[in-house]
Structure 1
């Protein structure tokens, strides 16, 4: 009887897993199918799944200088913003974890509360500040704004990672003659690699898909992929094939990053280190 229940439980878990995978992948499959069809076929209902692939939409997009510029801008903005969030977040999290004072709890709570503030509540004040500093429609201004907005989340994630690393590792490095920064760079960072990878992936996705900050702080010169995709929907028509193809291209860097970081994401935190 118990063996039968175990078999039924495994079958039920398998069915649930298949349903979840299909539900997650169906929108992506639909985007790919629409992007590879002519414009007339894209409007048919239900969606055609058997067709001859047509790559003309992709060719037209990559031949468009505005599309290539938007893709390059998005890559630059996301890479710089993610790098700053991970580096500054790791430094701040390590400091909060190792150098505790009576104000540490208040500081950590303030960082957590800053994540509750919605983006539309801060983007207008930033707009007026940027206008006075001539930072509107600039890559440096956007990187600075998005880094400041996403940094608290990076700090909170990495703070949990740093707290799980035993302080005895720091003490052992100090006995061997390593200073605080050398311990952080040579010992703590390698151990916290899974947490750094998770933070980088999450920050990358959030900055890559950012729309409101770019809409308010950028202009005609600095366009990113989310803004470009929104231009395919006009008051006269919706260019579904262009939207689908642009969305598929926009999904590729995120998927590639997750595949490359998968090993670190699945690795055990602190593997090979001495545990207390």
Structure 2
């Protein structure tokens, strides 16, 4: 009897969590398929005739297409660099006696506690001196520098769960650092790489403040575009919702593509040799 009630309670809690998680996405989709006048209604009208005019306007707008292309380019390049540097840094910290390794990993973790607004203004002045403002290269450099410590920490934990006997066997065969990393360790750590890539991609894709301060004129991304739909005269809820729905698609595709490795990757490194 008690176990039955526990199962029913767990089921109810699971359903409640699913509803709470799905409701904001469902609301975005519903509002994006309504006209601007209907989108302002409160409470939200859930029974309506879908209208795709907002999506048509967005995809016919060259500035929106440019911001979408900028977001994809920025996220793909910065994520690839973060995973690359994070893998190399995490492997070095997990396999070699690096002087001050403990303090270095602590600083990596501490850097995640620093809010973006605390470093974006000094970065702005540095970029102004280097003529890197409003450039894709400047944004990539800033976001990689800000996100690579997280990637390194994830990969450090992942590599810590991979037996070092694999390295020793490859080293006996004459393999060097890079060959061991690329041909032996990374294939084993593929789930961890997927987890690191997904987390980093989502953070970079949703980055707003760095783009707003360091670019925002020529290099505009989706989060900045969404903010532009809110003016002092009106808030274009249908455009905000439609752009938000479109911005979810790359993340969903990435998660679907990496799903096979994602769950196992998040659990790697829990047990050390």
CA contact (8 A) 2:216 2:224 kept: no
Matched, 1:100 2:97: yes
Can you give the 5+ residue segments of structure 1 that lack an aligned partner in the other structure? none
Matched, 1:25 2:3: no
Residue matched to 1:73: 70
Say how many residue pairs are matched: 270
Post-superposition, which runs of at least 4 consecutive aligned residues in structure 1 deviate over 4 A?
Answer: none
Residue matched to 2:206: 209
SS in 2 for 1:47: coil
Residue matched to 1:183: 180
Return the alpha-carbon distance in structure 2 between the equivalents of residues 25 and 50 of structure 1. 18
Residue matched to 2:239: 242
Return the alpha-carbon distance in structure 1 between the equivalents of residues 179 and 4 of structure 2. 53
Return the alpha-carbon distance in structure 1 between the equivalents of residues 128 and 62 of structure 2. 28
Return the alpha-carbon distance in structure 1 between the equivalents of residues 97 and 67 of structure 2. 44
SS in 1 for 2:42: coil
SS in 2 for 1:229: helix
Report which stretch shifted further, 21-30 or 174-183: 174-183
CA contact (8 A) 2:92 2:98 kept: no
CA apart distance, 1:220: 1.4
Residue matched to 2:115: 118
CA apart distance, 1:166: 1.2
Match of 2:137 among 113, 126, 140: 140
Can you give the 5+ residue segments of structure 2 that lack an aligned partner in the other structure? none
CA shift in 2, pair 1:19/1:177, >3 Å: same
Matched, 1:153 2:147: no
Residue matched to 2:248: 251
Return the alpha-carbon distance in structure 2 between the equivalents of residues 181 and 101 of structure 1. 17
Matched, 1:232 2:242: no
Residue matched to 2:35: 38
CA apart distance, 1:80: 0.5
- Normalised by the size of structure 2, how large is the TM-score? 0.95
Q: Deviations over 1:92-138 (max 9, x none)?
A: 00001111144211222222222222111111111111111111000
